[in-house]
């Protein structure tokens, strides 16, 4: 076991994948000599060369389009989108080409493209640097979408995404890049299936489902609830598409209550899909309506007031109080 930050874990995952397969290559803006704006790719161009770690033009459409062509010729491109809000020039290629080509060719052509997107707020940045667009991509069939919340998952999810024959978007919680944790680089252990949810805290009275940057907040809320005598289970969703509804249902059947929390707006968000599915699948086990906690239905605010926009411990505790009031 090695202690490292999430950013370092991703770096090591990329290094391991580059070393294991010569068809793997990285593309993105400033990822080479600079090592990326978050230094996640630091040192990789020096180690593997400019042909394997490519500094691309400032053109997300070109990055995605080139990666599709490379995948069709047998490569495994890994694209970095510098900031979440920069992905939209490449949205067309991702949703109309990358996601659909496998089905369009009746399964004869696979596109093993990995797209890394730092996402979420809490870094005090300017407009278009703190988005949470995961629901826009989850609505498109043909894309797998995962998001780590800890260093161990960050290392193994990076490697597993690159090895997957399907297109995978890895949403990396930029606010948590420097969160440290233990990583076992020899054995994925519980992370063997990147598309499964994990119980990160056992409980009996209510379930909180969260993913990415909000998992530590959900754990802190559960710990605070425990001081009031409430046993709250926390489920790290990990995969946004597909969603591990079996794991959520099993937890809800045990606890009878569900709170879903994410940074993205609640309107049209992943939480709404989870609430609907669990209401269909475990209605008779629910003691209260499913409560959603998320951002507000508005453009992401300026840094000075973003702490009022982002869900915090108090908002999750308020949701727990509401579900216990029924």
Which of the residues are catalytic? 129
The alpha carbon of residue 69 and the mean position of all alpha carbons in its chain are separated, in whole angstroms, by: 25
What is the widest separation between alpha-carbon atoms in the chain? 60
- Contact between 262 and 209 (Cβ < 8 Å): no
Tokens 């959520």, residue? 248
The DSSP symbol for 93 reads I
Q: What are phi and psi of 165, to 5 degrees?
A: -75, -15
- The structure tokens listed for 22 are 């010569």
CB 80 within 8 A of CB 28: yes
Asked if residue 261 lies in contact with residue 218, where contact means CB atoms within 8 angstroms, the answer is yes
Per DSSP, 301 falls in state P
Distance separating the N- and C-terminal Cα atoms of the chain? 44
Residue among 17, 22, 310 nearest 161 (CA): 17
Report yes or no: 158 and 17 within 8 Å, Cβ to Cβ: yes
Any residues with CB less than 8 A from the CB of 262 and at least 6 apart, and which?
132, 210, 211, 212, 214, 269, 270, 271, 293, 294, 295, 311
What does the CA dihedral 115, 11, 17, 138 come to, rounded to 10 degrees? -20
Q: Which residues contact 40 (CB under 8 A, 6 or more apart)?
A: 7, 10, 11, 14, 31, 80, 116, 172, 177
The strand pairing partners of 146, in sequence order, are: 170, 239
């Amino acid at each position: 076991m090695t202690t490292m930050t999430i950013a370092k874990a991703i770096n090591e995952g990329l290094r391991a994948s580059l070393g294991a397969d010569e068809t793997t290559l990285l593309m993105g803006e400033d990822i080479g000599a600079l090592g990326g704006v978050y230094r996640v790719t630091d040192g990789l161009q020096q180690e593997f060369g400019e042909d394997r770690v490519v500094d691309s033009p400032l053109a997300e459409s070109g990055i995605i389009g080139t990666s599709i062509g490379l995948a069709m010729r047998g490569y495994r491109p890994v694209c970095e989108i510098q900031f979440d809000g920069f992905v939209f020039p490449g949205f067309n290629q991702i949703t109309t080409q990358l996601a659909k080509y496998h089905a369009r060719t009746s399964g004869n052509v696979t596109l093993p493209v990995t797209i890394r997107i730092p996402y979420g707020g809490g870094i005090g940045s300017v407009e278009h640097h703190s988005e949470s667009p995961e629901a826009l991509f989850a609505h498109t069939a043909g894309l797998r979408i995962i998001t780590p919340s800890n260093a161990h998952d960050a290392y193994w999810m990076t490697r597993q995404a690159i090895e997957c024959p399907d297109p995978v978007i890895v949403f990396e919680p930029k606010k948590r890049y420097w969160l440290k944790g233990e990583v076992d680089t020899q054995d994925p252990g519980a992370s063997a299936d990147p598309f499964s949810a994990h119980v990160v805290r056992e409980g009996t009275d209510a379930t909180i489902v969260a993913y990415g940057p909000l998992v530590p907040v959900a754990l802190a809320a559960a710990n605070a609830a425990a001081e009031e005598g409430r046993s709250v289970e926390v489920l790290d969703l990990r995969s946004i598409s597909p969603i591990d509804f079996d794991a959520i249902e099993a937890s809800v059947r045990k606890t009878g209550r569900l709170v879903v929390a994410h940074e993205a707006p609640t309107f049209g968000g992943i939480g709404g899909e989870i609430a609907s599915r669990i209401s269909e699948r475990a209605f008779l086990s629910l003691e209260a309506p499913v409560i959603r906690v998320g951002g507000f239905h508005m453009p992401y605010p300026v840094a000075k007031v973003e702490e009022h926009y982002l869900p915090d411990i108090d908002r999750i505790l308020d949701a727990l109080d509401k579900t216990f009031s029924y």
